[in-house]
Amino acid sequence: MSISSSPFPKAILYTYERSLWSTVPRLALIEKGYSKDDLEMREVDLAAGENFSPAILRVNSKGTLPVLVVPLAETTGTEVDTKFRALTESKAIVEFLDSSRSQQLLDIKGEENSKPAPVLQPATIEGKALCDSLIDLVHSTITPFLLLTARSEQELDAQRKGRQGEFCRNRHDALLKFKAEAQASMGGENPRTAAMNENLIKWYDEKYQKMKHIFDAYLTPTPDGVSAFLADSVAQWTQVITILGKIETTIAGPYALGDQISLADLHLTVWLARVFTSAMRFEPDSSQDQIAALEKCVRHPFLAAVVTDPSRSIVGPKTRQYWETLKSRPAFAEVYANGLH
Ligand SMILES: N[C@@H](CCC(=O)N[C@@H](CS)C(=O)NCC(=O)O)C(=O)O
């Protein structure tokens, strides 16, 4: 397996610019010194539900981003059809990107003068265990939907009429459209196609059920649907506060594991950026100070049972310093050039 320039087929990275976990490999590509044409980038519009299309589901049956499709090295000759393997977890993708561009490989290829290729995977077993535990910690939340949460019925109402409402409507309609297309093709003679469409219909029904609590709050609001959604918003923010506490006690500084940037920092960067963005939309006045916006956001009555001592910061001193360190990376400036997301 390789990521390389011609004559081999290129790996393809499917991402969406404003997707939380897609930003992890985008940061990794820059930190590792990959050049623009080392692999092919394909944008999938999550906000329009493009990830529900049969074409994307063929690449990743989970319908999530990011996905890295890599050619298998043993089939990259001219005499055989190239076969591909899809990596469908941001953790596995950045581990692959990390090992595919190393200083040692560049030296072997005689490319000593190209950009440096720092190792992002910790060298020790202990370092790797800590790195993995931090990555698992931030992946344990459902933060892709933190941007849809609301602290009150009034906020939910305003969001329903704004960008969040449009996001939910588009994805809802995309699910129904793809399901209708699969149903329309069911009548054909070919049993293989029929089985494929049956699987697609099942996938769309299951996805719809998973998203139903969001559709219930945003598209067909009922008093019960709205209260369940607001209770879920409290649960999500409570989880965020717990995780921030764990980050504070775990990170070493200046980076998560010490002096060197590692894979853990990439995952923590995007998670923190999403938490801050989600808070800043409630506190537009403090848009320049991400931490102040978050501190203010959680002091709203909706979390009164959780934030019982409002004088105590939820972002600790180590995390504040850490966020400054992360923001100072050129890779950060590049992936968030159009604003945090
Ligand atoms: N564990 C996966 C999570 C991937 C994931 O959930 N990605 C979100 C975007 S950030 C997604 O594609 N969601 C699909 C959807 O919302 O329909 C990873 O780390 O790559």
**Model pLDDT for residues 229-239, shown as the tens digit of each residue:** 999 999 999 99
Nearest CA, atom 17, ligand 1: 64
Whether 54 shows a pLDDT value over 80: the answer reads: yes
Which atom of ligand 1 is nearest the CA belonging to 19?
10
Whether 6 shows a pLDDT value over 60: the answer reads no
pLDDT value at 2 more than 60: no
Give the ligand 1 atom nearest the CA of 93: 20
Q: Domain residues of the chain, as ranges?
A: 12-120, 143-167+213-335
Q: What is the pLDDT of residues 305-338, one digit of tens each?
A: 999 999 999 999 999 999 999 999 999 999 999 9
Most confident of 9-13, 129-133, 282-286: 129-133
Q: Is the CB of 140 under 6 A from ligand 1?
A: no
Predicted pLDDT at 79:
66
Centre of ligand 1 to C-alpha 21, Å, is: 6
Residue 323: which of 306, 340, 298, 299 has the closest Cα? 340
Determine the residue of 23, 24, 62, 64 to mutate for testing ligand 1's pocket, defined as the one with the most ligand atoms within 8 A of the Cβ atom: 64
Q: Which residue has the higher pLDDT, 335 or 189?
A: 335
> Strand runs (DSSP E) across the chain, as ranges?
12-15, 40-43, 67-71, 84-87
Could you tell which of 21, 57, 87, 148 is best to mutate to test the pocket of ligand 1, judged by most ligand atoms within 8 Å of the CB?
21
The helix or strand, by DSSP H or E, that contains position 57, with its residue range, turns out to be helix 54-59
How high is the pLDDT of residue 160?
Answer: 97
Which has more pLDDT, 31 or 101? 31
Q: Given this model, what pLDDT does residue 288 score?
A: 74
Q: Which of 44, 65, 138 for a ligand 1 pocket mutation test, highest count of atoms within 8 Å of Cβ?
A: 65
The H or E element that residue 208 is part of is helix 191-218
Q: Is 19 in the pocket of ligand 1 (CB under 6 A)?
A: yes
Q: What is the mean pLDDT of the chain?
A: 92
Local confidence band at 47 (pLDDT 50, 70, 90 cut-offs): very high
Q: How far, in Å, from the CA of 305 to the mean position of ligand 1?
A: 30
Q: What spacing in Å lies between the alpha carbon of 146 and ligand 1's midpoint?
A: 13
Question: Would the CA dihedral through 150, 155, 160, 165 be positive or negative?
Answer: negative
The C-alpha atoms of residue 201 and residue 192 are separated, in whole angstroms, by 14
pLDDT tens, residue by residue, 212-228: 999 999 999 999 999 99
Q: What is the pLDDT of residues 67-120, one digit of tens each?
A: 999 988 766 666 677 789 999 999 999 999 999 988 777 777 777 767 888 999
User: Which residues are CB-contacts of 330 (< 8 A; sequence separation ≥ 6)?
Assistant: 30
pLDDT at position 284: 77
| The pLDDT value given to residue 3 | 61
Q: What pLDDT does residue 57 have? A: 98
* pTM given for the model: 0.94
Nearest CA to ligand 1 atom 1: 89
From ligand 1's centre to the CA of 106, what distance in Å? Answer: 32
Q: Quick one: average pLDDT of 284-309?
A: 90
Bridge partners (DSSP) listed for residue 70? 85
Closest C-alpha to 179, from 201, 210, 194, 198: 201
| Structure confidence by residue, pLDDT tens digits, 229-270 | 999 999 999 999 999 999 999 999 999 999 999 999 999 999
pLDDT at 116: 83
Protein residue closest via CA to atom 11 of ligand 1: 64
Distance 45 CA to ligand 1 centre (A): 12
**12-120 architecture in CATH?**
3-Layer(aba) Sandwich (3.40)
